[in-house]
């Protein structure tokens, strides 16, 4: 274990470093995300008002605010850029360099991102949660924060990251077939944004679609942890949802490996 850490810590440090170097871009994303949240906040406020206030499909306005900001933050936290990274490396051929290094390819990507994820945890998640809890205290007059739910959220978010990483890994290999990575990126973000419930809570969707989405891996990527944090699930359901996450993590691990081996074969034939 120690040996593994020693070998991969440099990747992690590089991840932290690159976040610092590209801090302005990072800030742009954070601020862009916040703007989006505010637009949505006003839209939902108008929706709640048109609805006569109170509860809308089982969500109060306070719930909605927590959901909005936390799901956006979670999406940023578990964001994986591996699809772009792999895509670029495939395009410029440097992927063969990565294969040459005596380290596990997946892990080297993953540790690079772990660095940025840790930074985001400190500079993004903690302030957002703090802000949301102050807001909830201000609105309801009582402290609603539940430490157990928070810990379960973190655990579920880690699983969500693993799933997101694997999904992105699979997406990255599309670069073997399509050159417009940027278009693919837009496609990926909007599809995942919708299917993962970060755009609109899955609970609001029509019955059939909702059940369908809840079992797809995308819901596991931000919806599940956020709903756990908000205490929307009972004890039994929390376990059930986490079990679904674990199953998806394993399945996607297998799928990404399969594609990876296929890709290496293709790489050998093409000559990189």
Partner 1 sequence: MRRALKIYRLLVVQNLKRLMEYRADFLTGAVSFLIDQAVGIGFIFIIFSQIPQLAGFTFPQILFIYGLSQIPKGLDHLLTDNLWCIGYFIVRKGDFDKYLIRPINPLFHVIAENFQVDAIGELVVGIGLLVYAAPNADLHITVWTVLLSLIAIPFATLIYTSLKIMTSALAFWMKSSGFIIQMVYGMNEFAKYPTTIYSFPVRIFVTYIIPFAFTGYYLSLYILTGTDPLLSIGGVILISSVLFVISILIWNKGISAYESAGA
Partner 2 sequence: MIYAEHLRKEFKKVVKEPGLKGSFKALFKPKKEIVVAAEDISFHVPKGEILGFIGPNGAGKSTVIKMLTGILTPTSGECRINGKIPQNDRKNYVKEIGAVFGQRTQLWWDLPLQETYLVLKEIYEVDDASFKKRMDFLNEILELEKFIKSPVRTLSLGQRMRADIAASMLHSPKVLFLDEPTIGLDVVVKDNIRQAIMRINKEEKTTVILTTHDISDIELLCDRIVMIDKGKNVYDGSLHELRENYGQTRELVFETDKSSKLTKEQFRKGLNPNENDLVIENEKNNFKVRFNSNKIPVAEMLSYALSVTKVKDISVKDADIEEIIRNLYRQGEALNE
Which residues are at the interface with partner 1 (CB under 8 A)? 24-25, 27-29, 31-32, 35-36, 38-39, 42-43, 45-47, 49-51, 56-57, 177-180, 182-184, 186-187, 189-191, 193-194, 199-200, 204-206
Nearer to partner 1, 110 or 201 (CB): 201
Give the single-character DSSP code of 143. -
- 197 phi and psi, to 5 degrees? 80, 10
Q: How far is the CB of 36 from partner 2 (least distance, A)?
A: 23
Structure-token pair, residue 253: 């691990």
Question: Which of the choices partner 2, partner 1, none does residue 205 contact, using the CB cut-off of 5 to 8 A by kind?
Answer: partner 1
Question: Which of the choices partner 2, partner 1, none does residue 32 contact, using the CB cut-off of 5 to 8 A by kind?
Answer: partner 1
Nearer to partner 1, 26 or 109 (CB): 26
If residue 194 lies in a helix (H) or strand (E), which one and from where to where?
helix 181-195
Q: How far is the CB of 191 from partner 1 (least distance, A)?
A: 6
- In this structure, are residues 49 and 149 in contact, taking their beta carbons and an 8 Å threshold? no
d(CA 133, CA 142): 10
Instruction: Show Cβ contacts of residue 99 under 8 Å, excluding neighbours closer than 6 positions.
Output: 105, 264, 267
Nearer to partner 2, 180 or 189 (CB): 180
- In this structure, are residues 202 and 116 in contact, taking their beta carbons and an 8 Å threshold? no
Q: How far is the CB of 181 from partner 2 (least distance, A)?
A: 16
Nearer to partner 1, 120 or 153 (CB): 120
Q: For residue 224, which of 65, 66, 68, 71 has the smallest C-alpha distance?
A: 71
Question: Which of the choices partner 1, partner 2, none does residue 139 contact, using the CB cut-off of 5 to 8 A by kind?
Answer: none
Q: For residue 142, which of 252, 62, 53 has the smallest C-alpha distance?
A: 62
d(CA 15, CA 24): 15
Q: How far is the CB of 213 from partner 1 (least distance, A)?
A: 12
Q: Residue for token digits 């297998």? A: 254
Q: Residue for token digits 């694997």? A: 166
Nearer to partner 2, 21 or 186 (CB): 21
Q: How far is the CB of 14 from partner 2 (least distance, A)?
A: 14
Residues in touch with partner 2 (CB under 8 A): 20-21, 23-24
């Amino acid at each position: 274990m120690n040996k593994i850490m020693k070998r991969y810590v440099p990747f992690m440090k590089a991840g932290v470093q690159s976040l610092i170097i590209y801090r302005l871009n990072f800030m742009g994303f954070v601020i862009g995300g916040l703007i989006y949240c505010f637009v949505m906040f006003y839209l939902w406020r108008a929706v709640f008002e048109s609805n006569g206030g109170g509860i809308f499909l089982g969500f109060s306005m306070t719930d909605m605010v927590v959901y909005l900001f936390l799901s956006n933050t979670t999406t940023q936290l578990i964001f994986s850029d591996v699809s772009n990274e792999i895509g670029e490396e495939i395009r410029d051929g440097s992927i063969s360099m990565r294969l040459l290094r005596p380290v596990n390819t997946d892990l080297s990507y993953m540790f690079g991102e772990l660095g940025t994820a840790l930074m985001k945890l400190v500079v993004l998640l903690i302030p957002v949660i703090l802000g949301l809890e102050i807001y909830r205290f201000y609105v309801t007059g009582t402290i609603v924060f539940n430490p157990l739910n928070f810990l379960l959220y973190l655990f579920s978010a880690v699983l969500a990251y693993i799933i997101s990483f694997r999904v992105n890994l699979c997406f990255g290999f599309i670069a073997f077939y399509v050159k417009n990575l940027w278009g693919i990126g837009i496609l990926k973000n909007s599809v995942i944004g919708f299917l993962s419930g970060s755009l609109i809570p899955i609970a609001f969707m029509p019955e059939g679609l909702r059940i369908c989405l809840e079992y797809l891996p995308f819901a596991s990527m931000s919806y599940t942890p956020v709903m756990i944090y908000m205490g929307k699930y009972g004890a039994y359901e929390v376990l059930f949802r986490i079990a679904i996450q674990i199953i998806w993590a394993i399945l996607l691990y297998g799928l990404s490996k399969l594609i990876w081996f296929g890709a290496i074969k293709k790489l050998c034939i093409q000559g990189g």
